[in-house]
Amino acid sequence: MLRGFDTFRKRITLLSGGLLLSLSLVLIASFYQLTSTRLSQASGESLVSLSQSVSNMLTANLLEREREIFLLSQRSSLFKSQNLNELQEAIDQIKSSYKNYAWIGFADANGVVLASGDGMLAGADVSQRPWFIHGSKGPFVSDVHKALLLENLLPKPKDGTPIRFVDFSAPVIGENGELKGVVVTHADWVWVKEVLESSLTEASKRRAIDIFIIDKDHNILYPDNSLNDIKVPEGLPGNSQFKSVTWQDGQKYLTSLVSVTPPKSTNLGWQIVVRQPLSIAMATVNEVHKLLLLFGGLATLFCMFLAYRFASTLSRPLERLALTAQSIEQGNRNATFQDDSKLSEVASLSCSLEKMMSSLLVREQSLMQMNVTLETKVRTRTAELEASNRSLEVIIRKDPLTHSYNRLALDEALLGEYNVAKQTQQTFAVIMADVDYFKKVNDVYGHTVGDTVLKNMAVLFASLVGDKGMVARFGGEEFTVLLPKFSVEEARVIAESLRAALEKEEMSDGLFVTASFGVAIYKEDDSLYEQVLNRADAALYDAKEQGRNRVVVNKAC
């Protein structure tokens, strides 16, 4: 774990540096958390203050426009007379008083425009316009909408944005309470831009602060969003609150929201949303964080240097003792552990090592003589053990009765063939053979004759199989033949030759036996080599069921 730091001085240096670095990181993280929280709070409150300021200015502007149109509707003297010239003159004066009045007009109770600024839409029927329908019932302020009737009559904005209006209308009521008509102004939506620009300072622009006006459905009213390239995210903060919100571009912004207080006549549901990239809002803290990290790193390196120098004064005497021990290890018997260190602990250690060295040299001579004798005995004994092991390796894999391979050797060979088949997709076959009525042989002729039958059967199978495969005694009177690279048909032919040869072979004086054979082959979907043995065993069982002395191939092959 401390590879590369295998000296005392290095480990002291590493420990000192690690402790100081850990302390620095804890302090820096704590300071960063504290300052980031406070700066985030201050930045958020600043955004809320800006939002509130914009909201107040927009509310005041809406109320002022509403009050102007309401006061105009109260000038009944203008509407009593049928002299439209006087009414037209008054309307033109009001329009010129506020540059963002795109159009101003008066429609009679039937919705026909009698007088309008610059005479535009004079005589037009506006009875189905929302401002007339709502304005005939009381003061009305509309939501932002595109120009319809006036779109082709007014000059196009230089920036190419569509013309949008906010309507302010109020009813004109006669002395007897009847509706005389509706007076209306269409305020060009560009006045909102002027309101917001007066609120947004150069410092705010440098801090990448954006201001949005959204309606109650969270559609963006300002700035122009006709291409829908900006979408208001879900999870905006509550009224007069702020929080970090991820916007459409995937960037996090510190976002505040303040509702615009609407005129009493209409519930517009507008809201002011102000956002600032979180990275910019937290830029000061991030810079301080970087400086602290740099300072912490430099301080750590300086302390590690001091720790290294201090550790060196402690480790040099020990290093000299280590070099002396290394020299002795390499055969220098004249080396001495005497050291002029002023540290009493090191001097005591040097003296003890010197005495120990003298004692060890005496014992070394004695041990060398003993080693010569022991090495001779060990070599002789090792050779004997190796010879015994080689004999044992052969013995443990041979059946003691038939001298054919036993179950252990068979399992090892089967596993090897199974692994080769998995890698090369080449197959192998297994033949299971069981002597028919072998119990009767033992009962009638005795176990000695039974053993003779198994021995002769093993010799016969081995001679017929030869180097094409391996013959093993599976257990009792069962034998297994492993045939590498054999197809099922080739294995069946071998099994049939074994069966035919066995029934003709005289096992003892006048004694003939037969055997049943089961054949199976490796399949690609085998997950264990024992599955091949199991299929061959199942085929052997079928051979017994079908009358014995026959070869049966497993149905799955």
pLDDT tier, 202 (very low <50, low <70, confident <90, very high otherwise): low
Distance CA 407, CA 401 (A): 13
Query: Looking at residue 151, what is its pLDDT?
Result: 66
* Mean pLDDT comparison of 45-59, 261-275, 324-338, 424-438, highest-scoring range: 424-438
Q: What's the structural domain count of the chain?
A: 2
253 belongs to a structural domain: no
Contact between 363 and 343 under an 8 Å Cβ cutoff? The reply is: no
Is residue 335 one of the residues assigned to a domain?
no
In a domain, 169, yes or no: yes
Which of 192, 216, 238 finishes a domain? 192
Q: 178 with 189: CB under 8 angstroms?
A: no
| DSSP-derived 3-state class of residue 25 | helix
Higher pLDDT, 79 or 127: 127
Which is nearest to 279 in space by CA: 203, 204, 206, 207? 207
Q: Would you tell me how many other CB atoms lie within 10 Å of the CB of residue 15?
A: 14
Using H for helix, E for strand and C for coil, what is the string for 521-551? Answer: ECCCCCCCCHHHHHHHHHHHHHHHHCCCCCE
Q: Which residue has the higher pLDDT, 211 or 117?
A: 211
User: Three-class SS of residue 452?
Assistant: helix
pLDDT band at 419; cut points 50, 70, 90: very high
User: pLDDT category, 544, cuts 50, 70, 90?
Assistant: very high
What value does the mean pLDDT take over residues 483-492?
94
Could you list the residue range(s) of the whole structural domain that residue 517 is in? 407-553
- Mean confidence (pLDDT) of the chain: 81
In a domain, 178, yes or no: yes
| Residue 345 maps to a domain | no
Q: Comparing 319 with 529, which gets the higher pLDDT? A: 529
Mean pLDDT computed over 94-102: 75
Cβ–Cβ under 8 Å, residues 170 and 263? no
What integer pLDDT is reported at residue 449 of this predicted model? 93
- The dihedral region occupied by 214, where left means phi > 0, alpha psi between -120 and 50, and beta the remainder, is beta
Query: How many C-beta atoms surround the C-beta of residue 428 within 10 A?
Result: 23
Please report which confidence band the pLDDT of residue 83 belongs to, taking 50, 70 and 90 as the band edges.
low
Q: What is the pLDDT of residues 69-81, one digit of tens each?
A: 888 788 766 666 5
**Last residue within a domain, chosen from 138, 157, 192:** 192
pLDDT given for residue 346 in this prediction: 66
> Does residue 45 lie within any of the structural domains?
no
Task: Please say if the pLDDT value at position 94 is more than 80.
Answer: no
The percent helix, strand, coil of the chain (3-state, each to 5) is: 55, 20, 30
Look at residue 387 and tell me whether its pLDDT is greater than 90.
Answer: no
Higher pLDDT, 482 or 376: 482
Identity of the amino acid at 53: S
Q: Please report which residue ranges of 404-529 form alpha helices under DSSP H.
A: 407-424, 438-445, 447-465, 488-504
3-state SS assignment for residue 172: strand
Distances (CA, A) of 323 to 9, 318, 335, 336, 341: 16, 9, 10, 11, 15
Domain-embedded: residue 89? yes
Contacts of 290 by beta carbon, 8 Å cutoff, 6+ apart: none
- Residue 219 within any structural domain of the chain: no
pLDDT of residue 114: 84
| Whether 39 contacts 140, CB under 8 Å | no
pTM: 0.48
State the alpha helices, DSSP H only, in 81-141: 84-97, 130-135
Interior CA angle at 77 toward 71 and 83, to 5°? 120
**Residue bearing tokens 């709070």:** 41
The percentage of residues in the chain with a pLDDT greater than 70, rounded to a whole number, is 80
Tokens of 352: 């003890």
CATH of residue 506: 3.30.70.270
- Residues in the chain, overall count: 557
Q: The domain that contains 162 carries what CATH number? A: 3.30.450.20
User: What does the angle CA 397 – CA 398 – CA 400 come to, to the nearest 5 degrees?
Assistant: 135
In sequence order, what are the residues at sequence separation of 6 or more whose Cβ sits closer than 8 angstroms to the Cβ of residue 399?
405, 406, 458, 472, 473
Q: Which of 166, 192, 218 is the last residue of a domain?
A: 192
Angle CA(406)–CA(411)–CA(413) in degrees, nearest 5?
Answer: 95
Give the whole-angstrom CA distance, residue 332 versus residue 47: 81
Nearest to 519 by CA among 472, 557, 553: 553
pLDDT tens-digit series, residues 276-319: 887 777 776 667 667 777 777 777 777 777 767 776 766 777 66
| pLDDT tens, residue by residue, 132-160 | 888 888 888 888 888 777 767 777 766 66
